[in-house]
A = this chain, B = another copy of it.
Amino acid sequence: MRTVSVIGVGETRMGRLADRSNHDLIREAGERAIADAGIDKREIQALYIGNFVGGYLCRQNHYGAMASEVLNLGSIPTVHTEGACASGGLAFRMGYLGILSGLYDIVLVGGVEKMTHRPTETVTTAVASAMDFELEAMKGMTFPANFAMIANRYFQEYRNVKREMALCAVNAHRNACLNPDAQMPKELELEKVLEASPIASPLSIFDCSLVTDGAAFAVLASGEIAGRLCKKRVVDVVGTGHAGDALTLYGKKSITSFAASREAARQAYGQARLGPGDIDFAEVHDCFTITQIINTEDLGFFPPGKGADAVAEGITALDGKKPVNPSGGLKAKGHPIGATGLSQIFEAVTQIRGEAGPRQVKKADVALTQNLGGTAATCVINIFRGRD
């Protein structure tokens, strides 16, 4: 099999960017990734872009052709991928396959989402399209409600980890303070988090990720070309995994451990010939604080039911033994849905290159990114390693 490498990354600042259109976000992040790769645009052979709810919130679909025109990429083939919050991860995965297949040598992958211009109720309705509309959303289910049930079930199977969930949020915000692209670079006090009123018990507003505008892009190349072109440290994709699960909450065998994550992790670790202990740091999909705890268990970092202990012991902190979400994560860096999977990869590559500044993780040779869609119905996992 061919090696696939990341040779350029770029992202926008994340946040409530009222003055920036879809075009602006794509232009900024896309041009940054291309400049970072140091390639001529004419070398890009295909474009894959993730977006989740632009059709509903912006009346814009066909993001592939749109981004190609904005970035002036000519007549290259484009695909818009969608898999709810994993839309960006899927764009990366399709770009990866494009190179793996031998069809392309250099591709651009990205993600974009513009959400903050619409009222909260509209955003909530739009986001609910990531679950089964007929069987769940139409009955009144929302994502905070779904993940509140997951948290309560977790409490029942293991123990109440409300305090550790709060610590996830505190940690995320602490890291975000060191990330110039973060939406909420603001310290959180543990007591304030613990005292907050629930919005879907046991989740309070502090347990939920943000509504964010933003974009992130990456340039992928075959390993051989990367070695020739890349002026910075080459980052190889050494393992990838992609799996699914029932879309509905009630269709899953377990809701305290996600089958899609476990299967995607199995694939990625197998391909990389690495285990959880080999991962220096990870960007995991913390759409809710409870999700982060479950994810770190599904990824094999900690035993089932022990993810919360690891948070309490500081293991997942920036200076801990297994830093999780040095970027600030979906919780504090932000969650521009279609771009999130790529923003995680932006962080992985930035850290592996040693370019993360004050939030630099000490040992950053091997990184894992995990991007979840819907109620853990889609999962894309990648393992990256810096070339020596």
Contact = CB atoms under 8 A, between A and B. Distances in A.
Interface of A: 1, 21-23, 46-47, 52-56, 58-66, 68-69, 73-84, 90, 93-94, 97-98, 100-103, 125-126, 128-134, 137-138, 242-248, 251, 259-260, 263-264, 373-374, 377-378
A132 to B, nearest CB: 6
B65 A61 contact: no
Contacts of A81: 79-82
A239 to B, nearest CB: 13
A65 B244 contact: yes
The complex is assembled from copies of this chain, and their number is 2
A244 B66 CA distance: 10
Contacts of A251: 69
A18 to B, nearest CB: 15
Nearest to A66: B247
Contacts of A47: 244
Given A81-B81, A94-B79, A244 B102 contact: no
Given A46-B242, A47-B244, A80-B81, 19 more contacts: A23-B134, A52-B61, A53-B55, A55-B126, A55-B129, A59-B128, A59-B137, A61-B129, A62-B130, A62-B378, A64-B378, A65-B377, A66-B132, A69-B247, A69-B377, A75-B263, A77-B264, A79-B90, A81-B81
A53 B59 CA distance: 10
Nearest to A22: B134
A101 B99 CA distance: 8
Nearest to A376: B65
Nearest to A58: B133
8 closest cross-chain pairs (CB), A and B: A65-B377, A77-B242, A101-B101, A65-B247, A61-B129, A55-B55, A60-B133, A80-B82
A54 to B, nearest CB: 8
